[in-house]
Structure 1
Amino acid sequence: MAQTFTFELVSPEKVLLSGEAEQVQLPGSEGDMTVLPGHSPLISTLRPGVVEVLLDGAKSSVFVRQAFAQVEPERVTILAEKAYDVRELTGGLLSEELAQAEADLAAAKDDAERLLANHAVETLSRFKA
């Protein structure tokens, strides 16, 4: 059996994913990272993007916005203001999130805000195609 660690992804509304993970790919604010069991501790903000998790033997993909991750050798916790299973990002929900990201981009006051909003627009636009 492969080594695992405890994984939780939570939003204000609910726990989206929870279980034993073999690996997690995170859209870190400074670049993508893959977390494996025994990873060094860290805390990172996450840019808008997709978290991919190999959880209980199945791959799950979740789009997150306004999130951060706490990584410990035996646990990864992601707290996200907004998080959606990629399979849910269709139709009206996708259009609504894309419109919000475009509005955030238009209203950005500095380069950091523009960069985050642009990441959200780019990632959401890929789902629309």
Structure 2
Amino acid sequence: MQMPLHFELVTPEKLYRSADVHMVVVPGSEGEFGVLEGHAPFMSTVKDGDLSIYPTAGAAPERIRIEGGFAEVNERGLTVLAERVIEA
């Protein structure tokens, strides 16, 4: 069984989300990319778009609209530092 990915979504104002999830698809400035647990260290700028958060394998994604920022994958998981989160 695959281990969960630790995911954090942070804005300048607050920690918006912190959860263990199956996968996150990020709107990178060079194209979308998916991150699972064990992903190689990676850093990317983020364009305006939807983060797709898959809580478990095969589950429908939760979508959160973000504007700009950076994404970093390291041994602790994925952190998205968004300039802004657009509330639905």
TM-score between the two structures when normalised by the length of structure 2: 0.84
Report 1:1-129 matches (<5 A).
Answer: 2-55=2-55, 59-85=61-87, 88=88
Residue 10 of structure 1 and its aligned partner are, at CA, apart by 0.8
DSSP-derived class of the 1:12 partner: coil
Shift of 1:64: 1.0
C-alpha distance in 2 between matches for 1:5 and 1:16:
17
TM-score by length of 1: 0.59
Q: After TM superposition, give the deviation of residue 21 of structure 1 in Å.
A: 1.4
Name the CA shift for 1:39/1:73 in 2 (closer, same or farther; >3 Å).
Answer: farther
User: Could you list the runs of 4 or more consecutive aligned residues of structure 1 that deviate by over 4 angstroms after TM superposition?
Assistant: none
Partner amino acid, structure 1, of 2:66: V
Q: Which has the larger radius of gyration?
A: 1
Aligned length: 86
Greater relative CO (CA pairs within 8 A, separation 6+): 2
Which runs of 5 or more residues in structure 1 are unaligned?
89-129
- Where is the strand percentage greater, Structure 1 or Structure 2? 2
Identity %: 36
